[in-house]
Amino acid sequence: MEEKLLTLSQVKKILEGVGEEKLDQFQRRTLDYALKFSKVDVEAAESLVKKLIEEYGLEPREAIQIANCMPESVEELRVFLAGGRGIIEASKLEGMLALLNEAKSKK
């Protein structure tokens, strides 16, 4: 068995593809959560995660959490990056926010 990190948009797509009648109670709750809280479509989420990893050197786990929560300010973004990274330049944070805003506009 293999573990794979997924965005909420990816989870939503997978569970919708199974068909609601085939989902167990836990999967239905997970789908409901993904429907309520995914903020961008699956293509935008995948592109965003890829760019955050490649352009800003984020860990996949950090990039996925950012894509799931879509912070709207530098202060909110810093919360996701506080884990021992040290100080991140404001210009990089602004660049990340620009990517997030671009992804939101594609929804």
Rounded distance between C-alpha atoms, residue 61 and residue 65, angstroms: 6
Read off the pLDDT of residues 63-99 as tens digits, 9 standing for 90 and up. Answer: 999 999 999 999 999 988 877 666 778 899 999 999 9
pLDDT value at residue 87:
73
- CA angle, corner 85, sides to 83 and 87, nearest 5? 120
pLDDT value at residue 86:
65
Question: pTM score, two decimals?
Answer: 0.88
CA distances from residue 29 to 53, 97, 99 in whole angstroms, order as listed: 30, 30, 30
Backbone angles phi, psi at 70, to 5 degrees: 50, 65
pLDDT value at residue 88:
79
Read off the pLDDT of residues 9-56 as tens digits, 9 standing for 90 and up. Answer: 999 999 999 988 899 999 999 999 999 999 999 999 999 999 999 999
Q: For the chain, which residues make up each domain, given as ranges?
A: 8-37, 42-105
> Do 41 and 107 touch, CB atoms closer than 8 A?
yes
Q: What is the CATH number of domain 42-105?
A: 1.10.150
